A and B are shown apart, each in its own frame.
Chain A
């Protein structure tokens, strides 16, 4: 009796030890595997920090340096990237798609960018329009620091950053009667766009910042149920908009204007004049008019997003 109990106890202990060993082995395997995967792509982490809002990672391979808000190395998780040898060239299609808004209105006097990231859009617009005032609303001062340290972002007398929540900033700017003729919505956390920056009420506050010829440009995703909800919400506030989609990217860019949108012919006719200016960014603007469509390609029955109903990130799954 005694011995059999002992055996049971010993067996239990052995099993427990064995379980611990398995866990340790698995953990080690996971670390090696993860390192291996990164090494395979030649990706090095050159900076890593945990800010109040997210993980911030700066990675580099032989060609480019990227900013990332999530640790997982799935592709498409980079917030911002630039080529090491040609820092001006735009890595992501969405940035090029954004510039196609210049076909609608090509002389912005004052720009508001929501979400700094690596500063790609701010750099690009300040190169294009050195005399234009650019205001950036960014919630996370760690992002501003990382952008300055690793992506050559600089505040100047023309470029300024307001650290804080964009919803609050935009509401206050509206109350003060401030105007921006181009508002770029590019706020992403690791997952998606913060929910309170996608609602009808928010877009109405953005609209209040736009002068007669003002324009809003939003970088969003074209996958998921959220695509329809977002599209319906933008349409509700701004009416018809250009929906810019490109093969090979899950992003889509919305361009809405306070003025009636130009037709396809007008877009095509405007392209050659600005083609040369945009070449430095690695894009041919003449390819873009055909991507700019006002066609409704989503389910118009999907409920619009409001402050009362914005399960945005649940719909995104």
Chain B
């Protein structure tokens, strides 16, 4: 039993670290693409970036709060996985109805500052908030003692922020040169979905043992 738990938790540690990296990568990739997506309707003025960054920060902060709260109840990989799968589903409107939503707001709000803010809320708030839940929940999954909690949190910040750095770099240097915006977004949705399923499967397997 004991040995099983320890191999199990070693696997879990690896999974959570890799998943934290992936979520960091995808959050920044989407934020960066956000500028591209909004430009045809709201331009590339400084306030468009202001809207996008505001919404990402706001949704992440709320996601952190909710993720932390949820981690109080029996933390498990299944719920963890469903954050990823949920984020993938919540990104779909951006891919498939993005233009219609932006057009509707563009027609209703003249001032591109508020237009871009409202559109950012509609397109990015939910998926980003759900992705924000991943960070505190990851900490809870990996922490086994109060003594080591800072160390675990530090390691997770490190790996997810590293993911964010690489997500930014990869997207702005290469991905936009090779692919269309929607191709990148759909790939990210698929990656999130796969990640979610792997976590859920790992959870089921863990329960079998």
Contacts and interface: CB of A to CB of B under 8 A. Distances in A.
Contacts of B39: 167, 195-196, 307
Contact of B42 (A168, A194, A310, A311): A168
A37 to B, nearest CB: 32
Contacts of A52: 46
Contacts of B46: 52-53
Determine the main DSSP class of B at the interface with A.
helix
Interface in B38-70: 39-46
Contacts, number: 60
Contacts of B45: 139, 164-165
A171 B106 contact: yes
Nearest to A140: B45
B40 A165 contact: no
Contact of B112 (A165, A194, A196): A165
B167 to A, nearest CB: 17
A167 B180 contact: no
Given A164-B112, A165-B112, A171-B106, A196 B44 contact: yes
Interface size classification for chain A: 20 to 34
Residue with the greatest number of chain B CB neighbours at <10 A, chosen from A139, A165, A171, A175: A165
B99 to A, nearest CB: 9
B51 to A, nearest CB: 13
B209 interface: no
Given A308-B181, A308-B182, A309-B181, A165 B43 contact: yes
A8 to B, nearest CB: 33
Interface in B1-58: 36, 39-46
Interface of B: 36, 39-46, 106-107, 110, 112, 173, 176-177, 179-183
18 contacts: A53-B46, A139-B43, A164-B112, A165-B42, A165-B43, A165-B44, A168-B41, A172-B110, A194-B44, A195-B44, A196-B40, A196-B44, A199-B40, A201-B40, A308-B181, A310-B176, A311-B177, A315-B177
Interface of A: 52-53, 139, 164-168, 171-172, 175, 194-196, 199, 201-202, 306-311, 314-315
